[in-house]
Structure 1
């Protein structure tokens, strides 16, 4: 895992599969996503490398119910509340497995990516302490706004931090070779595209994505230029 500073208050945790993000202000930490099963030790090492402990976590926010974004939740202890949209909460609780698109419905180029995915062990079920909804505001970064963006999964969310022109986009936005694009493996591609366009209308200078490098510069303009 790589630990990369994006802002004085924000670090990227880059795993072998996917990204997580750690926001810190004072002695309060907020973790956005939690990696694949087995990532708990790497998250703990990253937190401690910044001079904190897992006890400083005030919340773990899950952008959606795919195993590479919440798989290590059960490894993070019992102190921090776990937050996820209500529509994806049953996946975390273990009521049903993650929802992925039918391979046959994918375009050829996505099918090749799908076939090359590394195996990920099934996560242990995790508790859900708060079910989120569009319009909720979380207590970090001067107010972090939950935006419901269904399409990638039914309960996908983005977290918008207007005071910092910052967005955590989950997998609805990807950035490959510094080229922003609609994320892949969407349950409802049209819904995901509509959600992408909604996010592109925000005033953003930094977009933290689930896979790839963050989108920087005039991020809003760059998103609006994407052809979907």
Structure 2
């Protein structure tokens, strides 16, 4: 896991290098720091593939720089691809009343960090629900719209690992991710992920659950209201 001031990304070992799930905010020098971190890990340090779970800045901010530096393929959900390419504006979230002050505080933090505007990034493959990637093991793409139209999760059945993006968070317990475009759709996406056979869950925000993740997701799903 690569931790940033806001959010995190995950490096997954491939037979010949690394895949990266999300990329961070895009602070100056951050892309270079990601590559340095990969190079310091045992084995081949080449970045082969970047998968963006959705189009928000804290997940795609370094994508263009990393893709340009390495030639890595960029994959993203079809519903978010136009935003990532810079061809369409990002839709603002539909906030619950209790989310408004949290959203405003996050925006204030980001404004104080002087983050550059997102650089449009090519998307080499648009992913849809049911697609399968080969990372030396099968990776199943799970369509989980609601946070954004093209949000995706990645399920590695053999390893029983799930990458949720921002559809699920762990703050300080497992909860529905905040700042969604369509809450009922996001709730349905949460429940779909909770039904998967997983032992490890890696979130866009909050500490991963290593062991017992499936039980924690199911218990959280039962607490959710539509």
Give TM-score scaled by structure 1 length.
Answer: 0.88
Q: Deviations over 1:153-179 (max 9, x none)?
A: 0000000000000000000010012x1
Q: Deviations over 1:147-204 (max 9, x none)?
A: 0000000000000000000000000010012x11100000001100000000000111
> Is the Cα contact below 8 Å between 1:180 and 1:215 reproduced in 2?
no
Name the structure 1 match of 2:53: 63
Aligned with residue 126 of structure 1, among 121, 125, 139:
121
Q: SS in structure 2 opposite 1:90?
A: helix
Aligned with residue 13 of structure 2, among 11, 15, 24:
24
Provide the alpha-carbon RMSD of the alignment: 1.5
User: 1:61 and 1:163 mapped to 2: Cα distance?
Assistant: 19
Higher share of residues assigned helix: 2
User: 1:139 and 1:149 mapped to 2: Cα distance?
Assistant: 20
User: 2:148 and 2:168 mapped to 1: Cα distance?
Assistant: 13
1:84 and 2:76 aligned: yes
Aligned with residue 91 of structure 2, among 83, 86, 99:
99
> Is the Cα contact below 8 Å between 1:141 and 1:163 reproduced in 2?
no
Structure 2 CA distance for partners of 1:130 and 1:25, relative to 1, 3 Å: closer
User: 1:36 and 1:53 mapped to 2: Cα distance?
Assistant: 25
User: 2:18 and 2:187 mapped to 1: Cα distance?
Assistant: 31
> Is the Cα contact below 8 Å between 1:44 and 1:53 reproduced in 2?
no
5 Å-filtered alignment, 1:1-228, equals 12-38=1-27, 39-51=30-42, 56-76=46-66, 77-102=69-94, 105-108=95-98, 110-117=99-106, 118-119=109-110, 120-177=115-172, 179-226=173-220, 227-228=223-224
> Is the Cα contact below 8 Å between 2:17 and 2:43 reproduced in 1?
no
Give TM-score scaled by structure 2 length.
Answer: 0.89
User: 1:61 and 1:114 mapped to 2: Cα distance?
Assistant: 25
Structure 2 CA distance for partners of 1:164 and 1:40, relative to 1, 3 Å: same
The runs of at least 4 aligned residues of structure 1 exceeding 4 Å deviation read 51-54
> Is the Cα contact below 8 Å between 1:138 and 1:145 reproduced in 2?
yes
User: 2:43 and 2:31 mapped to 1: Cα distance?
Assistant: 15
Structure 1 unpaired stretches of 5+: 1-11
User: 1:124 and 1:24 mapped to 2: Cα distance?
Assistant: 27
